[in-house]
Amino acid sequence: MKMEEWIKQLWTWLLALILAAFQPLSVAILVLMAVWTLNIVMGISADKNNKQDFNLKKALTAAKQLGFIFAVLFVISLATTGYNERELAFTIAKWGTWVVSYFYVTNIFRNANSLWPGNKAIAFVYSFLTTEAFGYIKGFFKMKGGAQ
């Protein structure tokens, strides 16, 4: 695994952990539903922009993924509340929901980058979310005489 990928994953997990600590579960689920919906809309738009027809299989896969996420949250809830650990269940559910939301946001920006390739703000955010920014930073320090 590349160092940039490792750093990206570390930041993703840390950000999700911080959000889980300071946001109620209802906010995490609301954000998940919003980014899931926006992801579908952006995906359909990007496909249409690339002259691809609507793909029912992709739409059903998105619905199955969301169903799977809620099934996992339900199993976590059952497993932890059975041992009277409701707080742990909420923390794990919030943490997992924020991580999944991050990946949906990354995909939203990938599709937005495809729709508006000349938009530098979208390109920057997508670059940052996909760790390309870490590669640029690493390259910058190599050019300045940093460690090879």
With tokens 């919030």, the residue in question is: 94
Predicted local distance difference test score (pLDDT) of residue 132: 59
Predicted local distance difference test score (pLDDT) of residue 146: 46
Q: 131's torsion region: left (phi>0), alpha (psi -120 to 50) or beta?
A: left
Record the pTM.
Answer: 0.74
Q: What is the distance between the alpha carbons of residues 104 and 98, in angstroms, rounded to a whole number?
A: 10
Nearest of 18, 11, 16 to residue 99 by alpha carbon:
16
Q: What is the distance between the alpha carbons of residues 123 and 111, in angstroms, rounded to a whole number?
A: 11
Q: What are the residue ranges spanned by the domains of the chain?
A: 15-138
With tokens 């889980």, the residue in question is: 20
For residue 56, pLDDT beyond 60: yes
Per-residue model confidence as pLDDT tens digits over 58-91: 888 989 999 999 898 888 888 887 788 888 888 8
Residue 36 pLDDT class (50, 70, 90 cuts): very high
Residues 6+ apart with CB under 8 A from 14: none
Per-residue model confidence as pLDDT tens digits over 114-133: 999 999 999 988 888 887 55
